[in-house]
Structure 1
């Protein structure tokens, strides 16, 4: 199974990017992982929140392949423990799924069309984090999930 993380907007802090790269590099030992960054929209001052979400949604959906499972990182999604998330990953791998696609939306969330296409929602916390920080948290949890599945000492049970 391949895992793709789609994000909106770039990471502009080098410290954050360095941590993101560290966990991405570690994760690649376990799974084919790709991050796809969709650049921030230009001239958004003239757009309503709904228009911005629709434009971002179109760009997100354009990146999906037939058979992909789309899961949104959303504040109203299901919450997991780290062990529970590793079980979720194992279940998806066992299902024969070709590609699992997670998406971190833009500043206003997701369009209605993206919500309709999604096959799941996951929340990492009831707190709100910056879109740059959530990337690190999510990639680290993917890495942690795979180390749990491999019974490696990174996650102490």
Structure 2
């Protein structure tokens, strides 16, 4: 199974980028993994939040294929403990050809993207910046890989 992390816009903070790159490289030892970027919208000051979400949604939809299993990182999604997430990921790996996790822009997702998604997951009840979520998610994906393999990274 190929796993893709689809992001709206580049990661702005160099410290986040360094951490994301580190975890991405580690994840690649366990599964085919890549990060894809949707270009950030320009001149958004004149756009409403809804217009911005819809325009980002159109760009996201162009990248997705009908057979993709699409999982949104969303504050209203299902929450997991790390071990539960690893079990969930293992199940997905057995039934999906391509698993696409999507982290939207600062205002979330358009209705079209919510309708396309197969699932939504949440990293916490707390709110994080869409930039910070990228680092937290890649660490959790790496952690899940080590749990699946029975490696000592995660302590319970």
Q: Fold-level match, TM-score > 0.5?
A: yes
How far is the alpha carbon of 1:16 from its aligned partner? 1.2
Aligned to 1:16: 16
| Deviations, residues 97-148 of structure 1 (Å, cap 9, x unaligned) | 1100110011111000000011100000011111111101001101000100
How far is the alpha carbon of 1:66 from its aligned partner? 2.6
| Deviations, residues 2-33 of structure 1 (Å, cap 9, x unaligned) | 11111112112211111111100100000111
RMSD: 0.8
1:3-152 aligned within 5 A? 3-95=3-95, 97-152=96-151
Mapped to 1, the partners of 2:128 and 2:139 lie a distance apart of 15
| Worse overlay, 43-52 or 140-149 | 43-52
| Worse overlay, 33-42 or 83-92 | 33-42
- Number of positions where the alignment pairs a residue of Structure 1 with one of Structure 2: 156
Structure 1 segments unaligned to the other structure (5+ residues)? none
Mapped to 1, the partners of 2:44 and 2:131 lie a distance apart of 19
Q: TM-score scaled to structure 2, two decimals?
A: 0.97
Q: TM-score scaled to structure 1, two decimals?
A: 0.97
Structure 2 segments unaligned to the other structure (5+ residues)? none
Give the match's secondary structure for 1:3.
Answer: strand
